Amino acid sequence: MVKKLIKWTLMMMVILFIFLIITVSYIQAQIQPVNASSTEVISIEIPKGSNTLDIAQLLKEKQLIKNELVFRYYVKYLGYGAELKAGRFDLSKNMNLEEIIQKLVEGNTFIETVRFTIPEGYNVNQIAERLAEQGLVNKDRFLQLTKEGNFDFPFIKQIPQRDEVVYKLEGYLFPETYEIKKGATEEEIIQKMLAQFEKEWKTEWNKVIEEKGMTIHDIVTLSSIIEREVVVDKERPIVAGVFYNRIRDSWNLQSCATVQFILGKQKDRLTYDDLEIDNPYNTYIYQGLPPGPIGTPGRKSLEAVVFPAENDYFFFVTKKDNSGEHYFSKTFAEHQRNNAKSAGNW
């Protein structure tokens, strides 16, 4: 009798042990990701007032968990029963139960974002108009901040205070495609664009431009002219070299782009009257660099001015063949011939 009892007890223990192993294995399997190799991001909205059962049903419906009951007991086991938050979340099928629960506990909710692109060469007014048209900023507020806003970046401290400069941040709102949270303030948008400029400016450039006797503001100013004058990237260092030659020999820069900036609009052809406008930005009248940038230079233009091509050119004219390229010349006589060639007079 005792032997039978011992045998029965051992058999029950074995059965119980096997059942326990199966149960643990099953639970472990239910805890694992629905699809470990999935890269799909699934956004879910958990309404306010949802309990664990509601959340489990929603997760199962979105195929983010394998078993509702296991989810509910696992939440309780981890001690998070009352801590799951409402909101919008980005989750994935490659997340296990603990990762999903942790997300819901932390309240790491989905942040809706918007994207916008600022093209190279845009000036502050154009940037403000573009963002206002997309409903991202109040134009007047944005412009006021670019004029008088307080932003803490080292390069801003070196911008000279000049009455002729309308917008202090002209040239420093880096042209790029940005992603911002929906409802971001004008300050936050400007901060992000200035942070991008700081990221793009290489610290090793400081020594290079110091040897040239130039400041960051000088470089950005000349780069903004290059940005508006040149279309083909390979020509940017060449044109930068032309302007450096003119500066070295005390010539006026004579950049049409600076006159266009004064006019506040793009004209297909400038008149002699345009070139005679008495304005510090008119590089046909005033020698040296204008008081500040005339737009936002991109990476290639900044690099071209920091590392210009050494050449003997003093003149350049557009080829007018839709290539966007220029004829370059060393003398005015050569320049006149190139002008005639560009105009198709020979």
pLDDT of 24 > 70? The answer is no
**Least confident piece of the model among 90-94, 165-169, 235-239:** 90-94
Q: What is the pLDDT of residues 217-227, one digit of tens each?
A: 999 999 999 99
Residues 290 and 221: beta-carbon distance below 8 Å: yes
Q: What is the pLDDT of residues 185-204, one digit of tens each?
A: 999 999 999 999 999 999 99
CA 293, chain centre distance (Å): 20
Alpha-carbon distance 32 to 29, whole Å?
A: 5
Alpha-carbon distance 247 to 256, whole Å?
A: 16
* All domains of the chain in start order, with CATH: 45-110 (3.30.1490.480), 113-200 (no CATH), 205-342 (no CATH)
190 token code pair: 């400007």
Q: What's at 149, amino acid-wise?
A: G
262 token code pair: 């004064």
| Strand (E) or helix (H) holding 10 | helix 2-31
Q: Give the Cα-Cα-Cα angle 171, 177, 181 (nearest 5 degrees).
A: 105
Which of helix, strand or coil describes residue 25? helix
Q: What is the pLDDT of residues 230-250, one digit of tens each?
A: 999 999 999 999 999 999 999
Nearest to 316 by CA among 233, 235, 258: 235
Check residue 56 and report its DSSP letter: H
CA atoms within 13 A on the CB side of 258: 28
Q: What's residue 17's pLDDT?
A: 72
pTM: 0.72
Q: How confident is the model at residue 84 (pLDDT cuts 50, 70, 90)?
A: confident
Q: What's residue 344's pLDDT?
A: 61
Q: How confident is the model at residue 136 (pLDDT cuts 50, 70, 90)?
A: very high
Alpha-carbon distance 321 to 342, whole Å?
A: 8
**Residues across the chain:** 346
**Least confident piece of the model among 19-23, 66-70, 278-282, 300-304:** 19-23
Instruction: Give me Rg for the CA atoms of the chain.
Output: 33
Alpha-carbon distance 101 to 95, whole Å?
A: 10
Residues 146 and 194: beta-carbon distance below 8 Å: no
Which of helix, strand or coil describes residue 304? helix
Residue 39 exposed, middle or buried by CB count within 10 Å (0-12, 13-18, 19+): exposed
